[in-house]
A and B are shown apart, each in its own frame.
Chain A
Amino acid sequence: MRTPLLELRGVSKELPSGGRTLRILDAIDLSIAAGEFAAILGPSGSGKSTLLGLMAGLDRPTRGEVLLEGEPIHGMTEDELALLRRRKVGFVFQSYQLLSNLTARENVLLPLELTGQAGAGARATELLAAVGLGERGHHYPSQLSGGEQQRVALARAFGTRPPLLLADEPTGNLDSATGASILDALVRLRSESGTTLILVTHDPAVAALADRRIHLRDGKVERDETSS
């Protein structure tokens, strides 16, 4: 049995809220293998985004352990986590999260530059073309539509070929037609690169695309089903 890419052991997350403590996640145990495509499902307030944040090293669990490629990340300092994310994690967000003062091309370039890769420029051009924005590289996010911005975000996420890619409601702000094309592009890029993809969504239709569906309710894993 190969070491899982991502492992959560007894992970809980509590947050102070208006004087009380809210338990968002309650003793979660999860194991994601390399190359898997998993979707995390649940109603709003079930703790999906929080779980994603813990997996990505964007947040720290109140209790429990998080291991990425066998390495415990729950005790790392902020800067160590930053360096880790640089090399190992790609992101796609519901609100695109592009840097507004960078052009589309510069946005895609940034993670490549951070890892100091040679030929970053060529790769950025290649990626933009792959998402159909070869001609729009010099435009700023404010000059792009929602769907186009998300495609830039996709290009950015896959650029450094990270072992893990996390997507948080990637089609949440898009109309159904645009959303569908984004999902197509996401799935295509994933199968080309073999990246492990964890996707958070509330939409069962979107979740159906994944090999594995993890259902969350009230901070606990309710169901964990794999497609045959």
Chain B
Amino acid sequence: MKAGLFSRQLLRESRGSRGRLAFFAACLGTGVAAIVAVAGLSGALEETIRSQARPLLGADLSIESFRPFPESVDQAIEALPGVRTRVEELVTVVFEPGTAAANEGAAPRSLLVELKAVEPPYPLVGELRLEPDRPLADLLAPDAIVAHPDLLRRLGVAVGEDVSLGGERFRVAGTIAAEADRLAGSFRIGPRVFVSREGLARTKLAGFGSRVTRRVLLNFPEGTDAAVARKIVTGLKDRLESVPGIRVESWLDGQPELRQAIRRTSRFLGLVALTSLLVGGVGVAQTVRAWIASRLDALAILRCLGVTSREAILLYAVQTAGLGLLGSLLGAVAGIGLVAAVGQAYSDLLPPGGLDPWQPAALLRGLGLGLGVSLLFGVPALLAVRRVPPARVLRRDAEPIPASLPLRILGGVVLFAGVGLTAWVQSGLPRVATLFTLGLAASALVLALSARGLLWLVTHVPRERLTFALRHGLAALVRPGAGTVSSILALGLGTLVVLHIALVQRDFSRQLAADLPSNAPTAFLLDVQPDQWVGVSAVLSEQGATRVDSVPVVTARLTAVDGTDTSDLAARMKGDARRQRWALTREQRLTYMETLPADNVIVAGALWSDPGALEVSLEEEFAGRIGARLGSVLDFDVQGVPLRLKVTSLRTVDWRTFGINFFLVVEPGVLEQAPQLRLAAARLPKESEGRIQDLLAREFPNVILIRTREVLERVAELASRMGEAVRVLGAFSVLAGLVILGGSISAASARRSREVALLKVLGVTRAGAALALAIEYALVGLVAGLVGTLGATLLSGAVLKAAFEVSFQPSAALLTLAPLGVSLLAAAAGLAVSVRALRVRPLEVLRGE
């Protein structure tokens, strides 16, 4: 067939396709909207973060270290062109002195804060609006601080009043109205407090062993060529990043960790969105099948007139593609709208500049996947065209041409591979894509089989004694060609996805927010100086703390592994091995003890087994990261004193007991004389936690108390927020399932109208007919809901146990309510679609008008 005739025939064939287009749009549109929304949101976020890289970083360039900069680094920094400033950051405690006596049950008087010590010309980039509206340098006298309003609110102090920081008094000179280099909503240990560098020097906080991050911020001179700046940055990185403890970041990096986190989240959410599109694909297959079924006569005529089956398939395939594209387009537009809406709704959480909803890459992704899915699911259904016998023009009941088995098998394989491909596109990881496809296929198979099994059961239920409506509903359920199985499959899959996500998230959060193991510490105390320990433990025991446990902490640098310099080892690691490099170059924390805590299990070697060497025991994964094995020799620099240790055992640590645990444990008798701090853990009575923090803040201002409950609550909150997003996406799947149910109902509307007409002629009222229809749809929903709920329960149990090792508590309420809920939804959706069929006047239908 020539191209001209083909396109003319195409246009002629597509007359009367409006209903089909609407259905395609609905099926594919939900899925494509979800995909475009997720991809668009993550793309927009990344774009915003990248464009805000400078304000978020606070400069063009940032060089940071946990220890004072070595001379080589200082020299390198001096040689750089541009404006620079030094910053010190640490977590510490602010204490409101107020009345001396710690009042019983009064509001907390001490608070963990994120302290930033600055000097002019800070800030180099980005907005810092203060209240009163004066420059930071003006407000920060050596005895002043500027704090986030949260601090004032929680401690009950006002501007002009005094607080105690690091044992010294400071006046609150103002509050922060807006700060550019902070992403609101990100994980914060405490409110931000600014102090001058001189102010920090007044306290003893930046003294020995404290975990102060020292940072040099630099802006290149105005008008520096971008390529030149890039070269300087790369050169600097190459020089400095193998120096232990140094990290170089520039505006070019654009917050890599943050963007990677966004990307990872987007990948996961993208797969959830994909599920709703694939569910829509089932609807596409159904529509195409119904479409071909309705065109059998026309197809027979065409074949009779001499159109080959290949030409006929192509005709319908192109129409399918066209409908798929149009449907996807509508969905994509909806997706863009969603991104814009989210940007508006959460504008206070986002960096200034908001979100740009126009994300061409996301659009392309949505359109491509939508078109792909419509072809993937539609074309196999089109193969039915081959089976239309031309003899049908003479005999309606002419046997269909037998289907070719190899073709059907090929079709199945292509479908599976195609779904895998879409999963790969969304996740970018072949392994995840394979697991996803297998999981989905298995779920679909189980659903289909269960559906069929249940239908078989229904067929064999004795119906005579049931009421009319119930009997009619059951009969309609098992009628051949009712498309019941695919409706159940689609709706069941949607239910399964939503419930599975909800169940996993529920139990996971519950575990997080639950009471900690009954003997786990509720608080950790950091940075206790050795001479402070007596006093601190006295405070603890006075206030009723139990299970007080403390260990010494010696900080050291790892200088060589098995003879190779760590800077050489680090220099060899590029790109993604950044985490491993950090394990090598960071400040190591060693402890010493005779016996290991119960949550440590030796997996190789033996503890303190070699009398001839100074021994260290390594945590297994950590050993892998630094490239050490049993028998390796590690060289350390302990505050200037060299130390050589031999690895005589490897162990695994169960971090979930929340006990104090270390990557590196040294045998007793080696580090006792080394400069050290104490790290302590204790169980504090809940009512005394605040008071203990106040007392410690007053007498030992450098000690940091971290309450594990708070941290866990924060994490649980984040997890539940994520869960919300995932649930919303899961709902798209249910929506797609309902659309398919509605579609299969409306596809049969002609038959249904005739049925209703006949019923009315026979004396059934409209209400009676509606009830019969409602029961039919409700049954479909019930079966789908039951199977989906059971599937979700089983799947969640497996996932929680295997992946998260969290106990699973199936909820009886959920198991009963969910299927009922789906059933009601289905009945409502079905009735909504059947309104026209119910209103029909019997005579019209019977006359065939």
Contact = CB atoms under 8 A, between A and B. Distances in A.
Nearest to B312: A82
B465 to A, nearest CB: 32
A99 B304 contact: no
A101 B306 contact: no
B500 interface: no
Interface stretch (B10-18, B627-635, B762-770): B10-18
A180 to B, nearest CB: 24
B303 interface: yes
Interface of A: 15-16, 49-50, 52-53, 56, 58-59, 78-79, 81-87, 91, 93, 97-102, 106, 110-111, 113-114, 116, 168
B310 A58 contact: no
Contacts of B401: 78
B308 A97 contact: no
B305 A113 contact: no
B345 interface: no
Contacts of B389: 58-59
A167 to B, nearest CB: 12
B394 A99 contact: no
Given A79-B310, A114-B5, A53 B391 contact: yes
B301 interface: yes
Given A58-B390, A86-B305, 7 more contacts: A79-B308, A85-B306, A86-B307, A97-B300, A99-B302, A100-B298, A113-B8
B391 A58 contact: yes
Contacts of A16: 399
Contact of B2 (A52, A93, A98, A116): A116
A113 B306 CA distance: 11
A114 B1 contact: yes
A93 B399 CA distance: 19
A-B CB proximity, top 6 nearest: A86-B306, A59-B391, A79-B308, A85-B306, A58-B390, A113-B5
B307 A58 contact: no
B309 A78 contact: yes
A100 B301 CA distance: 11
B393 interface: yes
B398 A59 contact: yes
Contacts of B391: 53, 58-59
Interface string B642-663: 0000000000000000000000
Contacts of A111: 305-306
B768 to A, nearest CB: 34
A106 B12 contact: yes
B394 A82 contact: no
17 contacts: A16-B399, A50-B395, A58-B390, A59-B391, A78-B308, A78-B401, A79-B309, A81-B390, A85-B390, A86-B307, A91-B305, A93-B393, A101-B12, A101-B15, A101-B16, A114-B306, A168-B394
Interface residues of B, number: 31
Nearest to A17: B397
B298 to A, nearest CB: 6
B16 A87 contact: no
Prevailing SS type, chain B contact patch? helix
A147 B300 CA distance: 22
Contacts, number: 84
A49 B386 CA distance: 23
A39 to B, nearest CB: 17
A49 B310 contact: no
A82 B15 contact: no
Contact of A87 (B5, B306, B386, B399): B306
A91 B304 contact: yes
A58 B394 contact: yes
Contact of A58 (B8, B16, B304): B304
A85 B306 CA distance: 5
A49 B395 contact: yes
Contact of A114 (B298, B305, B393): B305
A111 B1 CA distance: 11
B280 to A, nearest CB: 27
Nearest to A140: B15
Contacts of A114: 1, 5, 305-307
Contact of B307 (A15, A52, A82, A101): A82
B301 A99 contact: yes
Interface in B1-60: 1-2, 5, 8, 12-13, 15-16
Contacts of A98: 301
Contacts of A59: 389-391, 394, 398
A101 B390 contact: no
A111 B5 CA distance: 11
A53 B13 CA distance: 26
B5 A99 contact: no
A27 B297 CA distance: 30
Interface in B360-413: 386, 389-391, 393-395, 398-399, 401
Contacts of A49: 394-395
Nearest to A79: B308
A52 B306 contact: no
Nearest to B398: A59
Contact of B394 (A52, A79, A110, A113): A52
Contact of B304 (A97, A101, A106): A97
A143 B16 CA distance: 16
Contacts of B386: 78
B1 A53 contact: no
A207 B391 CA distance: 24
Contacts of B1: 114
A91 B301 CA distance: 10
B402 to A, nearest CB: 11
Max chain A C-beta neighbours (<10 A), residue from B16, B398, B401 = B398
A227 B301 CA distance: 34
Nearest to A114: B306
A85 B305 contact: yes
A106 B5 CA distance: 11
Contacts of A97: 297, 300-301, 304, 393
B398 A85 contact: no
B556 to A, nearest CB: 81
Contact of B12 (A79, A86, A102): A102
B804 to A, nearest CB: 56
A101 B15 CA distance: 7
A101 B390 CA distance: 19
Contacts of A102: 12
Given A101-B13, A102-B12, A106-B12, A53 B298 contact: no
A78 B391 CA distance: 11
Given A58-B391, A114-B1, A83 B308 contact: yes
Contacts of B16: 101
Contacts of A87: 306
A82 B12 contact: no
Interface in B306-360: 306-310
A101 B398 CA distance: 24
Given A106-B12, A116-B2, A82 B393 contact: no
A81 B401 CA distance: 14
Contact of B306 (A50, A82, A93): A82
A110 B305 contact: yes
B786 to A, nearest CB: 37
A150 B393 CA distance: 15
A82 B301 contact: no
Contacts of A52: 394
Contacts of A85: 304-306, 390
Nearest to B396: A95
Contacts of B390: 58-59, 78, 81-82, 85
Contact of B298 (A50, A58, A99): A99
A82 B395 contact: no
Contact of A82 (B2, B5, B13, B303): B303
B394 A53 contact: yes
Interface string B157-188: 00000000000000000000000000000000
Max chain A C-beta neighbours (<10 A), residue from B301, B305, B310, B390 = B305
Given A59-B398, A97-B393, A114-B5, A83 B304 contact: no
Nearest to A91: B304
